[in-house]
Structure 1
């Protein structure tokens, strides 16, 4: 479990560094690699307590938006 969290932190740093670059200079393969890295990050973070907390927060926000649109 500790190794998974360390890999997830490493991927988070890589994602931040990749997203800070200029978007005009990116190639299609570069964008695809970023998507794959983000998907792997999501799979690694999902079973952790932090991943569950993110899911709960996003779920409650979506539920609140749904309720506010209902008369």
Structure 2
């Protein structure tokens, strides 16, 4: 039996949708992409990978804030 991770599946969908030309997208298409990306974020957030991304982003923002001061 094949077990596909939903987060991985949504990542593939997002990549395929973002590869298309921007001019060909309607507002409904853009809204669908945003909804899929938000769902992907919700699925990734509680995982170790998601927590690592949050920590890495926080450290990057702290370094950028120090450079600007």
Task: Give the structure-1-normalised TM-score.
Answer: 0.90
- Alpha carbon RMSD of aligned pairs, Å? 1.3
Correspondence for 1:45: 44
Alpha-carbon distance in structure 1 between the residues aligned to 2:31 and 2:12: 18
Gap runs ≥5 in structure 1: none
Is residue 7 of structure 1 aligned with residue 6 of structure 2? yes
Task: State the number of aligned residues.
Answer: 67
Tell me: higher relative CO, structure 1 or 2? Use CA pairs within 8 A at least 6 residues apart: 1
Q: What residue in structure 2 maps to residue 32 of structure 1? A: 31
